[in-house]
Structure 1
Amino acid sequence: MQVSDFAQPFHADGGRVGVLFCHGFTGSPWSLLEWAKVTAGAGYRVSLPRLPGHGTSWQELNVTEWRDWYGAAEHAFLELRANCDTVFIAGLSMGCALALRLAERYPDQVAGLALVNPAVLGFPKMRALPVLHHLRASAKSIGSDIAEPGIQEQAYARTPLKAANSMMRMWVDVRACLDLVHCPLLVFRSATDHVVPAASTAFVLSHVSSDVITERILERSYHVATMDRDKEQIFTESLQFFAEHSGTTGSPGAAPQG
Structure 2
Amino acid sequence: MIQNVEFRFEGGRSGVLLIHGLTGTPNEMRLVGKGLNRAGFSVYGMQLAGHCGDVSDLLATGWKDWYSSVEAAAETFRHEVDHLFVAGLSMGAILALKLAAQRPEWVCGVGVYGATFRYDGWAMPWYSRFSFMLPVARLIGFGQQRMVYEGEPYGLRDERLRAQISGLMLSGDSVAAGLPGNPWPSLTEMYDMAKLVRRELPTVTAPCLVAHATEDDVASLNNAHLVAQSVSGPVEMLLLEDSYHMITIDQERRTLIDRSAEFFARIAASSEPAARAAA
- TM-score computed with the length of structure 1 as normaliser: 0.90
CA distance 1:207–1:140, shift in 2 (3 Å): same
Which amino acid letter does the alignment assign opposite residue 63 of structure 1? Answer: A
In structure 1, the residue matched to 2:126 is none
In structure 1, the residue matched to 2:111 is 114
1:142 is matched with which residue: 134, 145, 150? 150
In structure 1, the residue matched to 2:180 is 157
Which amino acid letter does the alignment assign opposite residue 24 of structure 1? Answer: G
Identity of aligned residues (%): 30
Which amino acid letter does the alignment assign opposite residue 247 of structure 1? Answer: A
**Contact map agreement 1:62 1:161 (CA 8 A) in 2:** no
In structure 2, the residue matched to 1:19 is 16
2:244 is matched with which residue: 201, 214, 222? 222
**Contact map agreement 2:44 2:77 (CA 8 A) in 1:** yes
Q: Does 1:131 align with 2:136?
A: yes
Q: CA RMSD in A?
A: 2.2
1:84 Cα deviation (Å)?
1.2
In structure 2, the residue matched to 1:167 is 190
| 83-92 or 41-50, which deviates more | 41-50
SS at match of 2:243: coil
Separation in 2 of the partners of 1:20 and 1:126?
30
**Contact map agreement 1:122 1:200 (CA 8 A) in 2:** no
Q: After superposition, give the CA deviation of every residue in 1:142-167 in whole Å (9 maximum; x if it has no partner).
A: 37311111322712123111111011
1:8 Cα deviation (Å)?
0.7
In structure 2, the residue matched to 1:253 is none
Separation in 2 of the partners of 1:64 and 1:28?
15
Which amino acid letter does the alignment assign opposite residue 155 of structure 2? Answer: D
In structure 1, the residue matched to 2:49 is 52
Q: Does 1:203 align with 2:226?
A: yes
Which amino acid letter does the alignment assign opposite residue 22 of structure 1? Answer: I
Structure 1 spans left out of the alignment, 5+ residues: 250-255
Q: After superposition, give the CA deviation of every residue in 1:64-90 in whole Å (9 maximum; x if it has no partner).
A: 100111111111111111111111111
Separation in 1 of the partners of 2:101 and 2:268?
19
Query: How many positions carry a matched residue from both structures?
Result: 248
| 223-232 or 37-46, which deviates more | 37-46
SS at match of 1:8: coil
1:197 Cα deviation (Å)?
2.4
In structure 2, the residue matched to 1:89 is 86
**Contact map agreement 2:87 2:112 (CA 8 A) in 1:** yes
**Equivalent residues in 2 for 1:61-100 (5 A)?**
61-100=58-97
**Contact map agreement 1:17 1:84 (CA 8 A) in 2:** yes
1:248 Cα deviation (Å)?
6.6
Q: Does 1:32 align with 2:29?
A: yes
SS at match of 1:46: strand
**Contact map agreement 1:21 1:36 (CA 8 A) in 2:** yes
Q: After superposition, give the CA deviation of every residue in 1:23-52 in whole Å (9 maximum; x if it has no partner).
A: 001111011111111112222111111111
1:185 Cα deviation (Å)?
1.0
Which amino acid letter does the alignment assign opposite residue 142 of structure 2? Answer: L
SS at match of 1:33: helix
In structure 1, the residue matched to 2:216 is 193
Separation in 1 of the partners of 2:2 and 2:118?
32
**Contact map agreement 1:58 1:158 (CA 8 A) in 2:** no
Which amino acid letter does the alignment assign opposite residue 136 of structure 2? Answer: V
